[in-house]
Chains A and B, each alone.
Chain A
Amino acid sequence: MKRFVGFVRKEFYHIFRDKRSLFILFGMPIAQILLFGFAITNEINNVNIAILDQANDVTSKEIINKIAASKHFSIVDIIQKESSIESIFKKGKVKAVLQFENNFGNNLIKEKQANVQVLTDATDPNMANTISNYISAILKKYQQELNKNTTIDYQIVPQSRMVYNAELKSVYMFVPGVMTVILMLVSAMMTSISITREKEQGTMEILLVSPLKPFQVIIGKVFPYIFLSVINAIVIVLLSIFVFNVPVNGSLFLLGIESVLFIITSLALGILISTISATQQTAMMISLMGLMLPTILLSGFIFPISSMPLPLQVISNIIPAKWFIIIVKGIMLKGIGIGFIFKETAILVLMTLLFIGISVKKYKIRLE
């Protein structure tokens, strides 16, 4: 035990003396969460839109006034014919076009139903989605006001259409994603680098010719990073709660336990990488290309898995991050308990055991 403590103390010396890495270690999560948070905010303000009012009656005018009055939109153009829609989008002047059908007001009164088309520029999918939701909300509110004084159920039906990216299906949930990426990066990359550094500097040679057992070396290596990663996870959750008001609907305790599980999964991956790479550079490349990219691209963090081609969907199952993102989304946003994420948790546990098993088997007690 004393040997182990001595080893861990040495690891902390390494970490705290490498000021640059330490800065990245703690600066990166904060920078990333702030960047993602502010760049991918769900708030929209003064978005330029255009109106194509084919009805040109009292009702449509009223709705247009309501929209113009909201702080979210500013109407910059009134267009006359449908064919101008495309060109106005292409110019990039507006993010959305609101199109009222012919006889909008009449339809609403006679047929009790009228249609509005909301066309959004989905080159920025997140924005498009938000705009569409905001406009629907305004229409709904107007509809409620209409229906308040009468027994007749008038309905305004907004028909949202995304242009340029029609299959957009999900919204970004950046907090779970960023958390996953950071934990993966810190845990896997840092451990693999720190183990390969011993090989590169030749100190592994002395460590091997010592009574230290392989598991003591490995646990000693990962122990400090569990500690650092937990701190990172806490920082990320605190930032998302207090800066971005992301709710934590589920149990914080469960979130903590699941995070530690994922950290251990990533550390196990880091050890695995270090057993197959001889230099720090190789370890870094494998971590970046082999872990970071799939974690960002295939985990559902940025691109929804359901819209991926089938082979990629299959591959995404072996990405630990995918399961962790489902867990974090579930706990933070849906507020679900362990019962609903049992499968995902079990998968992560199995993956961790597998990685550790392979690492122990591949760990070299000699030099070759």
Chain B
Amino acid sequence: MGISVSNITKSYGKVTALSDISFDVKPGELFGLIGPDGAGKTTLFRILTTLLIADKGQATVAGYDVLKEYKSIRNSVGYMPGRFSLYQDLTVEENLNFFATIFGTTIEENYDLVKDIYVQIEPFKTRRAGKLSGGMKQKLALSCALIHKPKVLFLDEPTTGVDPVSRKEFWEMLKRLQKKDITILVSTPYMDEAALCDRIALIQDGKILQIDTPNAIVSHFPKPLYNISANDMYGLIESLTNYKHTYSIFPFGEFVHYTDKRDTMDIERLKTYLESQNLTDIHIEKTQPTIEDTFMELAK
């Protein structure tokens, strides 16, 4: 009853947006599609919400076939597109009311479902949607996508362009919604959000790199990972790039994430090498890989 995708392929002219994608989302699962811009996330969402037809492959949403039973799907899913797609000249309340009406329900009927979210924007209910801040717009859009109590919720990059506090709140809401038996498929380019999903699919260039729980994905990281910092970030990256044993380096905040080609490596020797490159304040320590590291490794 969740989502089932098998061998979906879609191309726009010569550009392949999705190639042979398959995965399943269990009912009640919070499933994340993690990938950079242009990975094909939005295309996949549009195929699943019956807006586009795949070139090849099958998919079902809430048990309905996306092609043959598209009308049933349109009745039973909530969709929040990546771009803010509400009526800017309608007020918060009018927007919500409109979406409730076209799905044949009322705000009162499903109020408990959207209550947690809607109370935060209710003080502004007479304000035009176009005049809301980014975070509030997303909360309103989520309320509108939820007001008809959908079985499956599609959220295409819901937190892009939203401040960190609102992002955190938004994910807390998703967690609460999940408890109300709503299957959620969410996409995001932010790796830190991936950890909050039950399972994630890493997607790039229209291909799925890996599907697993966030913990499992991290544990599959093949090599020991080191945090390295020094007084001069630029010099550090350059020195490591020229180091003959370097397998991968990846700037990560104030550190550089480093893996070595060899199975065992000597931290002291690397430190000596870096010191010979006129770097000071060098710290090297083993660290836990993140989803971002895994992604970069898989995307290589």
Q: Which residues of A come within 8 Å of B, CB atoms?
A: 2-3, 5-7, 9-10, 13-14, 17-18, 201-203, 205-212, 365-368
Contacts and interface: CB of A to CB of B under 8 A. Distances in A.
Given A201-B87, A207-B102, A368-B53, 4 more contacts: A10-B94, A13-B94, A208-B74, A367-B51
A209 B50 contact: yes
B74 A210 contact: yes
Contacts, number: 79
A10 B75 contact: no
B40 to A, nearest CB: 15
Contacts of A3: 101-104
B94 A209 contact: no
Nearest to A206: B85
B102 A212 contact: yes
29 contacts: A3-B101, A5-B101, A6-B97, A6-B98, A6-B101, A7-B98, A10-B90, A13-B94, A14-B87, A14-B89, A17-B89, A18-B89, A201-B85, A201-B87, A202-B81, A202-B85, A205-B51, A205-B79, A208-B74, A209-B49, A209-B50, A209-B77, A209-B79, A210-B99, A211-B71, A211-B104, A366-B51, A366-B52, A368-B52
A209 B74 contact: yes
Given A206-B79, A209-B79, A212-B102, A366 B50 contact: yes
A367 B97 CA distance: 25
Nearest to A212: B102
Contacts of A367: 46, 51-52
Contacts of B70: 365
A309 B71 CA distance: 52
Interface string B97-115: 1110111100000000000
A211 B102 contact: yes
B74 A366 contact: no
Contacts of B46: 367
Contacts of B104: 2-3, 211
Interface of B: 46, 49-53, 70-71, 74-75, 77, 79, 81, 83-90, 94, 97-99, 101-104, 144
A135 to B, nearest CB: 59
- For chain A, what secondary structure do more than half of its interface residues adopt (helix, strand, loop), or is it mixed? helix
Contacts of B87: 10, 13-14, 201, 203
A9 B99 CA distance: 12
Contacts of A368: 52-53
Contacts of A365: 70
A153 B88 CA distance: 79
For B53, B75, B87, the residue with the greatest tally of chain A CB atoms inside 10 Å of its CB is B87
A302 to B, nearest CB: 37
A210 B98 contact: no
A6 B52 contact: no
B88 A201 contact: yes
A9 to B, nearest CB: 8
A13 B89 contact: yes
Given A13-B89, A206-B79, A366 B101 contact: no
B85 to A, nearest CB: 4
Nearest to B74: A209
A186 B58 CA distance: 45
A211 B75 contact: yes
B202 to A, nearest CB: 26
Nearest to A203: B85
Contacts of A10: 87, 90, 94, 98
Nearest to B85: A202
Contact of A205 (B53, B77, B81, B94): B81
A4 to B, nearest CB: 9
A18 B50 CA distance: 32
A209 B101 contact: no
Nearest to A366: B51
A365 B81 CA distance: 17
A168 B74 CA distance: 61
Contacts of B71: 211
A18 B89 CA distance: 8
Contacts of B79: 205-206, 209
Contacts of A18: 89
A205 B87 CA distance: 12
A212 B102 CA distance: 6
Nearest to B86: A203
A14 B74 CA distance: 25
A166 to B, nearest CB: 55
